[in-house]
Amino acid sequence: MPPPSRRALLTAGTAAALSLAAAAAPTAAARTARPFGRFGSPSRRLTERTLYVHPGGLGDHTSVQAAVSAASSPDRTLVIAPGTYRETVAVGAAATGMTWIGASEDPRDVVVVYDNAAGTLRPDGTTYGTSGSATTTVQADGFAARWITFANDFLRTDLPGNPGTQAVAIKVQGDRSSFLHCRFLGHQDTLYADSMSLAAVARQYFAHCHVEGDVDFVFGRARAVFEHCHFRTLLRTDLASAPHGFVFAPSTAGANPYGFLADRCRVTSEAPDGYYKLARPWVPSSDTTARPALVVRDSVLGRGIDAVAPYANMRDAYPWQAQRFAEYRNTGPGAAVTVPENRPQLSAQQAESATRAAYLGDWTPRWAGATTIGSTMN
């Protein structure tokens, strides 16, 4: 059997790929018998507000977008059977309180994926742009997902020579959005944690999630908290030298006191040692007053992170030193403080404000503080 292609690895997830073949036979039998696991079925719904998605027709709908479109009232739940759903999905602002559940309780089994990039041509001859490239777009407040993989499997070789290689797996703009045991797979601009407008504050919570990519693969202006998440930096075979990319690229509005918080996370890499930066600030042309903010605390930074110079500029007009980047009690080879001026550190007193509660305010996500129960993605 030939080795899986890079696109197959992207969809399956690097860490999971080797186990897929061995698990295929019993998993297929279990899916046929109970495709929705312990979450009911169209004949025995959990609630009247639950819809079931199955690619083979055993649910209410065969595509995720069809189910989203049919959920015409707030607080609907989609139970999604194992399968690869090759489609783009848009959850509009009116679909508040929507929940997606991966029926197998393993995010490797339920994959929502497409391959648009910023430079991909639309049918009318224009390009999608970064925002338009998103496989999944969520504008509704109160969105929640558990055990789902959100992916964009565009490869740079699909558009040789085209600079529009941004390819978003998910763009989240709603307030009070939460994700537990989810995977976000892509290359450039994988996870776009954003808001609906410059003035809007969008609080987002990610727990026990896996995010992988290369350039700015966690970016945007949301007030986003990542707890116990795994960030995986990829090998760039098109580049011969460092840097291969950047994990975070926040674009926090200047008036927002909180940007991204990564707490008790880990960063690993398949690239050579020191080939990745931890972050660079994104000050977009639409908001030149932005002051990108990032705190990484109590996390393990692997050898892939450049410990000497973990931050870089996106544009020299907005140096990273003028933004709000800081660390606290990180460990691992990539966290070694060899040049103190290159690694701003919080004091113990400042760290008291770098918490989930401070960032999320009066909102406590339903899964806040959840343990790694059920299947994991790593």
Active-site position among 141, 189, 194, 263: 189
57 phi, psi to nearest 5 deg: 95, 10
- Supply the Cα-derived Rg of the chain in whole angstroms: 20
Nearest Cα to Cα of residue 101 among 93, 110, 92: 110
Is residue 216 annotated as part of the catalytic site, yes or no? yes
Torsion, Cα of 240, 243, 247, 250 (10° steps): -130
The Cα 312–Cα 308 span in angstroms is: 11
The Cα 377–Cα 310 span in angstroms is: 27
User: Which residues pair with residue 170 across a beta bridge?
Assistant: 136, 191
C-beta of residue 223 within 8 angstroms of C-beta of residue 256: yes
Which string of DSSP letters, residue by residue, matches 312-347? --SSTTS-GGGSEEEEES-BSGGG--SSGGGS-B--
- Both tokens assigned to 323: 């933004």
Positive or negative: CA dihedral 35, 40, 41, 46: negative
Phi-psi category of residue 36: left, alpha or beta, with phi > 0 → left and psi -120 to 50 → alpha: alpha
| 3 DSSP assignment | P
Strand order in the sheet with 276-279: 89-91, 136-138, 170-172, 191-193, 218-220, 245-250, 276-279
The Cα 145–Cα 204 span in angstroms is: 12
The Cα 342–Cα 336 span in angstroms is: 11
Is residue 194 annotated as part of the catalytic site, yes or no? no
Cβ burial of 196 (10 Å; 0-12, 13-18, 19+) is: middle
State the catalytic residues: 189, 216
